[in-house]
Amino acid sequence: MLGRIVVLVLFLFLAVPALAAARPAAEPAPPSAPATAPTRLFIPHISRDLCGDFFDDFSAATGWFTGERDGLLAELIGGEYRLLVTQPGHIWMVGAPDCNRLPYRAEVDARWAGRPGNFYGLLFDIDGRLDQSYMLAVSSQARVWLVFRITPTSMTTILEPAAHDAIRPGGETNRLAVARDGERLVFAVNGTTVGELADAGRGRPVAAGLAAASLVTHVPADARFDNFAHQGMASGGWRVASDELRVTSYK
Protein backbone atom coordinates (compact mmCIF):
# COMPACT_ATOMS: atom_id res chain seq x y z
CA MET A 1 0.00 0.00 0.00
CA LEU A 2 2.86 2.34 0.57
CA GLY A 3 5.34 3.27 -2.13
CA ARG A 4 9.19 3.39 -2.00
CA ILE A 5 10.99 6.50 -0.71
CA VAL A 6 12.67 9.53 -2.10
CA VAL A 7 13.79 11.90 0.70
CA LEU A 8 14.24 15.57 -0.22
CA VAL A 9 14.24 19.00 1.36
CA LEU A 10 12.62 21.79 -0.66
CA PHE A 11 12.50 19.89 -3.97
CA LEU A 12 9.27 18.26 -5.16
CA PHE A 13 9.39 14.63 -6.32
CA LEU A 14 6.86 11.82 -6.08
CA ALA A 15 3.49 12.06 -4.30
CA VAL A 16 2.91 9.92 -1.21
CA PRO A 17 -0.04 7.54 -1.10
CA ALA A 18 -2.52 8.06 1.72
CA LEU A 19 -3.19 5.46 4.36
CA ALA A 20 -6.33 3.52 3.54
CA ALA A 21 -9.41 4.79 5.28
CA ALA A 22 -10.50 1.18 5.96
CA ARG A 23 -8.61 -0.76 8.60
CA PRO A 24 -7.49 -3.80 6.52
CA ALA A 25 -4.14 -3.12 4.82
CA ALA A 26 -4.10 -3.01 1.01
CA GLU A 27 -1.60 -4.89 -1.15
CA PRO A 28 1.79 -3.05 -1.29
CA ALA A 29 2.51 -0.94 -4.36
CA PRO A 30 5.33 -2.02 -6.70
CA PRO A 31 8.71 -0.53 -5.70
CA SER A 32 9.83 2.62 -7.49
CA ALA A 33 13.29 3.51 -8.74
CA PRO A 34 16.19 3.46 -6.21
CA ALA A 35 16.25 6.43 -3.87
CA THR A 36 18.74 9.22 -4.39
CA ALA A 37 20.69 11.03 -1.68
CA PRO A 38 18.75 13.94 -0.17
CA THR A 39 19.38 17.63 -0.53
CA ARG A 40 19.08 19.16 2.95
CA LEU A 41 18.37 22.56 4.43
CA PHE A 42 19.60 22.82 8.02
CA ILE A 43 18.14 25.68 10.02
CA PRO A 44 19.57 25.91 13.54
CA HIS A 45 17.67 27.09 16.58
CA ILE A 46 19.53 27.63 19.83
CA SER A 47 17.57 26.22 22.74
CA ARG A 48 17.81 27.33 26.33
CA ASP A 49 21.01 26.73 28.31
CA LEU A 50 19.32 24.48 30.90
CA CYS A 51 18.19 20.94 30.23
CA GLY A 52 15.72 19.80 32.82
CA ASP A 53 12.70 17.83 31.64
CA PHE A 54 11.18 19.71 28.70
CA PHE A 55 7.46 20.52 28.65
CA ASP A 56 5.89 22.88 26.13
CA ASP A 57 2.26 24.02 26.07
CA PHE A 58 3.05 26.33 23.13
CA SER A 59 1.77 29.39 24.95
CA ALA A 60 5.04 31.19 24.08
CA ALA A 61 7.95 30.77 21.69
CA THR A 62 10.54 28.26 22.95
CA GLY A 63 12.62 27.64 19.83
CA TRP A 64 10.48 25.43 17.57
CA PHE A 65 10.83 26.26 13.89
CA THR A 66 8.28 28.83 12.75
CA GLY A 67 7.97 30.19 9.23
CA GLU A 68 7.31 28.99 5.70
CA ARG A 69 9.01 26.42 3.53
CA ASP A 70 7.94 25.02 0.17
CA GLY A 71 4.61 23.43 1.09
CA LEU A 72 4.80 24.07 4.87
CA LEU A 73 3.60 26.74 7.27
CA ALA A 74 4.77 26.29 10.87
CA GLU A 75 3.51 28.64 13.56
CA LEU A 76 2.23 29.05 17.09
CA ILE A 77 -1.51 29.64 17.02
CA GLY A 78 -4.08 29.62 19.82
CA GLY A 79 -1.76 27.88 22.28
CA GLU A 80 -0.87 25.10 19.82
CA TYR A 81 1.96 24.37 17.40
CA ARG A 82 0.69 24.18 13.84
CA LEU A 83 2.19 22.26 10.92
CA LEU A 84 0.13 23.16 7.84
CA VAL A 85 1.15 21.00 4.87
CA THR A 86 -0.09 22.63 1.68
CA GLN A 87 1.23 20.28 -1.01
CA PRO A 88 -0.38 16.87 -1.60
CA GLY A 89 1.40 13.71 -0.53
CA HIS A 90 4.10 15.35 1.56
CA ILE A 91 5.47 14.66 5.04
CA TRP A 92 7.14 17.45 7.01
CA MET A 93 9.21 16.74 10.14
CA VAL A 94 10.47 19.26 12.70
CA GLY A 95 12.94 18.62 15.51
CA ALA A 96 12.18 19.77 19.06
CA PRO A 97 14.24 22.59 20.63
CA ASP A 98 15.58 20.36 23.38
CA CYS A 99 18.56 18.32 24.53
CA ASN A 100 19.40 14.73 23.68
CA ARG A 101 18.27 12.43 26.48
CA LEU A 102 18.90 8.95 27.86
CA PRO A 103 16.71 7.24 28.94
CA TYR A 104 13.70 9.15 27.70
CA ARG A 105 9.95 9.48 27.35
CA ALA A 106 8.39 11.66 24.64
CA GLU A 107 4.70 12.48 24.22
CA VAL A 108 2.39 15.02 22.61
CA ASP A 109 -1.29 15.80 22.00
CA ALA A 110 -2.12 15.81 18.27
CA ARG A 111 -5.25 16.63 16.30
CA TRP A 112 -6.45 17.81 12.91
CA ALA A 113 -8.05 21.22 12.38
CA GLY A 114 -10.56 20.67 9.60
CA ARG A 115 -10.50 17.64 7.34
CA PRO A 116 -8.01 14.97 8.53
CA GLY A 117 -4.75 14.58 6.67
CA ASN A 118 -2.81 11.37 6.10
CA PHE A 119 -1.15 11.05 9.53
CA TYR A 120 0.57 13.00 12.28
CA GLY A 121 3.58 11.66 14.10
CA LEU A 122 5.93 11.76 17.07
CA LEU A 123 9.61 11.53 16.12
CA PHE A 124 11.93 9.68 18.49
CA ASP A 125 15.46 8.28 18.62
CA ILE A 126 16.71 11.22 16.52
CA ASP A 127 20.45 10.54 16.29
CA GLY A 128 21.79 13.98 15.46
CA ARG A 129 19.63 14.58 12.35
CA LEU A 130 16.03 14.01 11.35
CA ASP A 131 17.09 11.59 8.61
CA GLN A 132 18.44 9.29 11.33
CA SER A 133 15.32 8.72 13.41
CA TYR A 134 12.06 6.82 13.95
CA MET A 135 8.43 7.93 13.93
CA LEU A 136 5.29 6.77 15.69
CA ALA A 137 2.55 7.72 13.20
CA VAL A 138 -1.23 7.73 13.72
CA SER A 139 -3.99 7.98 11.13
CA SER A 140 -7.10 9.14 12.95
CA GLN A 141 -9.19 8.59 9.82
CA ALA A 142 -8.23 4.92 9.52
CA ARG A 143 -7.70 4.55 13.29
CA VAL A 144 -4.37 2.81 12.80
CA TRP A 145 -0.84 3.32 14.12
CA LEU A 146 2.52 2.35 12.62
CA VAL A 147 6.23 2.96 13.06
CA PHE A 148 8.70 4.22 10.43
CA ARG A 149 12.48 4.08 10.36
CA ILE A 150 13.99 7.11 8.64
CA THR A 151 17.46 7.12 7.07
CA PRO A 152 19.19 9.50 4.63
CA THR A 153 17.87 7.43 1.69
CA SER A 154 14.71 5.73 2.93
CA MET A 155 11.63 5.87 5.09
CA THR A 156 10.56 2.30 5.80
CA THR A 157 7.63 0.87 7.74
CA ILE A 158 9.09 -1.36 10.47
CA LEU A 159 5.80 -1.93 12.34
CA GLU A 160 2.92 -2.30 9.88
CA PRO A 161 -0.34 -0.31 10.24
CA ALA A 162 -2.44 -1.82 13.04
CA ALA A 163 -5.95 -0.83 14.05
CA HIS A 164 -6.59 0.01 17.69
CA ASP A 165 -9.70 1.22 19.52
CA ALA A 166 -7.57 3.56 21.66
CA ILE A 167 -7.20 5.86 18.63
CA ARG A 168 -9.87 8.55 18.59
CA PRO A 169 -11.32 9.23 15.12
CA GLY A 170 -11.34 12.29 12.87
CA GLY A 171 -10.49 15.61 14.47
CA GLU A 172 -10.44 14.38 18.06
CA THR A 173 -7.21 14.76 20.05
CA ASN A 174 -4.90 11.76 20.40
CA ARG A 175 -1.99 11.66 22.83
CA LEU A 176 1.01 9.86 21.31
CA ALA A 177 3.78 8.55 23.58
CA VAL A 178 7.06 6.66 23.23
CA ALA A 179 9.08 5.47 26.22
CA ARG A 180 12.27 3.50 26.60
CA ASP A 181 11.70 0.63 29.04
CA GLY A 182 14.88 -1.38 29.52
CA GLU A 183 15.66 -2.94 26.14
CA ARG A 184 12.24 -2.07 24.68
CA LEU A 185 10.55 0.96 23.16
CA VAL A 186 6.91 1.07 24.23
CA PHE A 187 4.28 2.91 22.15
CA ALA A 188 1.05 4.26 23.62
CA VAL A 189 -1.97 6.19 22.37
CA ASN A 190 -4.20 7.97 24.90
CA GLY A 191 -2.57 6.12 27.78
CA THR A 192 -3.07 2.66 26.26
CA THR A 193 -0.05 0.62 25.19
CA VAL A 194 -0.49 -0.35 21.53
CA GLY A 195 2.86 -2.02 20.78
CA GLU A 196 6.58 -2.26 21.41
CA LEU A 197 9.90 -2.66 19.60
CA ALA A 198 13.38 -3.86 20.57
CA ASP A 199 15.50 -0.77 21.28
CA ALA A 200 18.51 -1.12 18.99
CA GLY A 201 19.73 2.37 19.91
CA ARG A 202 19.87 1.94 23.68
CA GLY A 203 22.88 3.50 25.35
CA ARG A 204 23.04 6.72 23.32
CA PRO A 205 21.27 10.02 24.01
CA VAL A 206 18.65 10.94 21.40
CA ALA A 207 16.23 13.75 20.54
CA ALA A 208 12.52 13.99 19.63
CA GLY A 209 10.24 15.94 17.28
CA LEU A 210 6.94 16.18 15.39
CA ALA A 211 5.62 15.32 11.92
CA ALA A 212 2.55 15.83 9.73
CA ALA A 213 1.60 14.28 6.37
CA SER A 214 -0.94 15.33 3.77
CA LEU A 215 -3.11 13.12 1.59
CA VAL A 216 -2.44 12.79 -2.12
CA THR A 217 -6.10 13.59 -2.79
CA HIS A 218 -6.62 16.53 -0.44
CA VAL A 219 -4.77 19.56 0.95
CA PRO A 220 -4.17 21.28 3.21
CA ALA A 221 -3.39 18.98 6.13
CA ASP A 222 -3.61 21.18 9.22
CA ALA A 223 -2.00 19.36 12.17
CA ARG A 224 -2.07 20.91 15.66
CA PHE A 225 0.13 19.85 18.57
CA ASP A 226 0.02 20.67 22.28
CA ASN A 227 1.53 19.64 25.61
CA PHE A 228 4.76 18.26 24.19
CA ALA A 229 6.97 16.55 26.77
CA HIS A 230 10.47 15.09 26.56
CA GLN A 231 11.83 13.66 29.80
CA GLY A 232 15.04 11.91 30.77
CA MET A 233 18.67 12.53 31.69
CA ALA A 234 20.02 15.23 29.36
CA SER A 235 23.31 15.04 27.50
CA GLY A 236 24.85 18.53 27.46
CA GLY A 237 23.43 21.88 28.52
CA TRP A 238 21.97 22.99 25.20
CA ARG A 239 22.09 22.08 21.55
CA VAL A 240 21.43 23.42 18.09
CA ALA A 241 17.98 22.04 18.29
CA SER A 242 16.03 21.55 15.12
CA ASP A 243 16.03 21.15 11.41
CA GLU A 244 13.19 20.55 8.98
CA LEU A 245 12.91 17.58 6.64
CA ARG A 246 10.44 16.96 3.82
CA VAL A 247 9.68 13.46 2.53
CA THR A 248 7.70 12.89 -0.64
CA SER A 249 7.52 9.09 -0.91
CA TYR A 250 7.89 6.14 1.41
CA LYS A 251 7.17 2.43 1.79
* Span 127-160, pLDDT tens digits: 878 888 999 999 999 999 999 999 888 899 999 9
The CA distance from 44 to 87, in Å, is 24
**pLDDT value of residue 50:** 60
Q: What is the mean pLDDT of the chain?
A: 80
Cα angle at 160 between 3 and 72, to 5 degrees? 55
Helix (H, G, I), strand (E, B) or coil at 92: strand
Give the CATH fold of the 6-20+38-235 domain.
Answer: Jelly Rolls (2.60.120)
The dihedral formed by the CA atoms of 125, 126, 131 and 132, expressed in degrees to the nearest 10: -60
Q: State the pTM of this model.
A: 0.79
CA 37 to chain centre: 21
Neighbours of 118 (CB within 10 A): 27
- CA atoms within a 13 Å half-sphere pointing along the CA-CB vector of 176: 29
Q: CA-to-CA distance for 59 and 25, rounded, in angstroms? A: 39
Residue range 191-196: mean pLDDT, rounded:
98
